[in-house]
Each structure stands twice: as C-alpha cells, then as structure tokens.
Structure 1
Amino acid sequence: MRSPVLGARIARLLVGLGLYGVAEGLMVLAGIGVGPWTVFAQGVSRHTGIGLGWLANLIGLAVLVLWIPLRQRLGVGTVLNVLLVGTAIEATVDLLPAPHALLVRIPLFAVGLALLAVASGLYLGAGFGPGPRDGLMTGLHRRTGLPLWLARAVVEVSVLAVGWVLGGNVGVGTVAFALGVGPLVGFFVPRLTTVAATPARIVPVASGPCPSSS
C-alpha cells in the first residue's frame, strides 16, 4: 500500500509544478519583463511561432541533454517539470486576458512572483529532484569547480542576452525577478519541505521552471 507520506509528497509535487507554470504565465501576461529563461523562450517563440509554454517544455528537454556530460541524475520531479510547467504556462497565457493598465500589470507580476516562490517550495520541498535548469547550474558547479553563483550568472546572463536579441521581453520585471526570486524561494522552501523529503540544493530560476523555477 502506498505510504500516506509518499502520496502527500506526490500531491505537493504535482500542485507545485502546476502552480509554477501558472505563476510564470501571470508574469508573462503582466508584460513588464520576465526571468532570463522565459525571455529566452519568448525570443525563440517570436521566430518560430511555437507557443511559449510548449517552447518552455522543449527547452527543458534540451537542457536535460546537457545533463549527460555533467553526470546529473534525473528525478521524477525533473521529468515532470519538463512535462507540466510549460503546459501550465501555455494554458494560463491562452485562457487569461492580458491587462492593459499598468496599475493592474504591476500587481499581477507581484502575484506571479510570489506564487512562483510558493510553488517552488511545494515542488522542491517534495524532494523528487530539481528542475532541469537548476540541475544544469549545480552540475556545472560540481564538474567545473565554478562557484555556484558564477555558474548561475554565466548561464542566466547568456540565455537572457540571446533571448533579448531575439525579441524577448526584458524590463523592470526582469530586474525584480532577479532580485526577488532568490530570497522568496529561500524563504518558502524550508517551510514547505515535507519531513520525509530532502530537497536538492537549489539555484532559483524561471521554468520551471523556472524556479526553478522553475
């Protein structure tokens, strides 16, 4: 019989990943800038016509390929991150209208950022493995000896620059995301971690999520 604790962890994982995608979608709809990985996905979407959420899934899958030389180990949460976060982004962007008034867009972004932090606490706290982007950064740290903050900076600045050149939405929200996501996720993860779970070391990002993300 399945352990009630395991069932609760799985529920946290699924709810967290779904909410993570909704949070990303809300920040996209706010239109004042998004995190680096979503900027990258937006830029690619502009040139391919593929929906933003579907691209988030495809980018997550591509990032997993980079795990191979880094010898990162997949978790159930990692695989579900690739499948669910982008799908939730796509549904949110498709179903909800984008507001025009700045007085609505700013609070919408703030709600999205806060929800992303809560969602990160749920899915990372379930202890089923990090998202593909988080794993890429921790893998680079372990394999190259780069400090964790530098590995994160190299990856995120690179994808942000490429996404911006391709036409992704870089704005004040991008700065707010960069400054706020780390402290917010750091606050919620220990408070939402289940007793039986031992969450992987995190580098919060956009995508799945990503938190990350994300």
Structure 2
Amino acid sequence: MDQLDLFGAPEEETKTHFEIQNGEYIHIPGFFNKAKADKFFQSLLQNIEWKQESMNMYGKEIKFPRLTAWYGENDKPYSFSGITLNPNPWNKELLEIKEKIETEAEVTFNSVLLNRYRDGNDSISWHTDAEKELGKNPVIASVNFGAERKFQLKHIETGEKVELLLKHGSLLVMKGELQHYWKHQVPKTKAKVAERINLTFRVIK
C-alpha cells in the first residue's frame, strides 16, 4: 500500500480506526458539530495568547510560518525545534474541549499545543511528536477548527504515506508506536484558504 486517500470519509458521527505499520489512529470527521465548532473557533481566535515564535538557522532568525500557543496544568516547559515554551493556564474553552476528547482518547491530557494557520502560506514541516517529555508511545489527540487542510503522514523507514483532509470540528487520535515511526506535516497550499486552528493535546511526563 503506497498511499491511503481518505478524502471521501463520511462526516458527522462516523468513526474510523486504522491500524497501520508501526502505529494506529482514530479519525472522527464530525466529532464536534458545526455549532460547537464555530463557537470554539471564534473563542480561540479571540482568547488565546498567540505568538509567532522564531528559531535560529544558519545564523539567521527564521520566524515560524504559523502562530503558536502552549497551555497546561503544570509548570513543565515543552521544547521542540530549538525553542522552549512555558505553559499558560487552562481557560474555560480548552478545558471543555479537553474533557470531551479524553473520553474518546481514553487518556487524561495535561497540556495542549495550539497552532494557528492564517492562510495557505502557513504550514508545519515534517516532524514527529516524540520528544522525551512525551514518553514512550505517546497518545496525541488533534482537534481542528476552521478551514480544511491536508494532513500527511510518512513512514520514516518505508516511505509509505497516509493523507487525510482534516475538517472543521474533526478529531484525530494518534496512538501506539506512530510517533516513533511516522513523520507528519501540514503542507503549504496555493489554494485560497481561510484560517485554521489545530490543537494537539498531549501528556507531559
């Protein structure tokens, strides 16, 4: 199997559980209904402390092509891509979202990384969520509000690809060995797209 194309996945209550080489994931396109998703999207736009982080590369300061924020219930920092983030305290909307997805993921999360993609030029390149703070075989729950964007997975050893269209109100739960064997990205697009907010809930050890 070279590539899975799941753009035709049905909406609303449909839940699909996929077991792939060295990992598994659950995809629920309509996890939050439109009314709830609209409410959360507007609230997150207005109430999250968004920042544009930057990193040093070859002696130059490079700004991330997206806005980010880090929230959690402890004082443990999270480091990735050469930066370290200290958590803001949970707000009402984040706790509401967290409580809802924990039932599905069967995990109690203590932190969330938010990424805000302002248009098609904003993106995140190939990476894994396998930092030491996340422990072995971390469960990552990804919630999406706003514009639909492609989400791609690529096996580090075989090159096998999986491609999903993550829609407004969708939930993606990545489990098992996936973070140790698969990279993922949200690529840039030349298509005219509106803003998108992605939340990846996780457990910091």
* TM-score, normalising length: structure 1: 0.24
Q: Higher strand fraction: Structure 1 or Structure 2? A: 2
Which structure has more relative contact order (CA 8 Å, sep 6+)? It is 1
